[in-house]
Structure 1
Amino acid sequence: MTDRIALFLGALVAALLIADYALFDWANTLFLARKMLVLIEWLAFWR
């Protein structure tokens, strides 16, 4: 991965987080965080 691609992806993630905060009051980020926690717990069970 080049520096240019990494910077673009970082800026994209930052922009999406800012948009989620401004438009939806962290609703989407919180939803994804909860689903990620469930996935991690499920994977830990099968380890």
Structure 2
Amino acid sequence: MTNQIALWLGVFLLGGMMLDFAMFGTEHMLFLGKKMFELLEWMAFWR
């Protein structure tokens, strides 16, 4: 992955998060963060 692709991907993700915060509040990100940690623990088990 080049630096330019990584930069645009980061800008896209941050823009999506800001849009989600503006429209729906922070509850969705908290839920998704918890689910992401569960997924990481599950993947670490199978490693």
Fold shared, TM-score > 0.5 on shorter chain: yes
- 1:5-24 mapped onto 2 (5 Å cutoff): 5-24=5-24
Give the AA of the match of 2:8.
F
- Percent identity, aligned pairs only, is 47
Task: String of CA shifts for 1:1-47, please: whole Å, max 9, x gaps.
Answer: 11210111010111011011101101221111111222344455667
> Aligned partners of 1:22, 1:13: CA distance in 2, in Å?
14
> Aligned partners of 1:46, 1:8: CA distance in 2, in Å?
31
Segments of 4+ moved more than 4 angstroms? 43-47
Q: Which runs of 5+ in 1 are unaligned?
A: none
| Cα 1:44/1:21, change in 2 over 3 Å | same
> Aligned partners of 2:38, 2:3: CA distance in 1, in Å?
33
Give me the TM-score of the superposition, normalised by structure 2. Answer: 0.69
Number of paired residues? Answer: 47
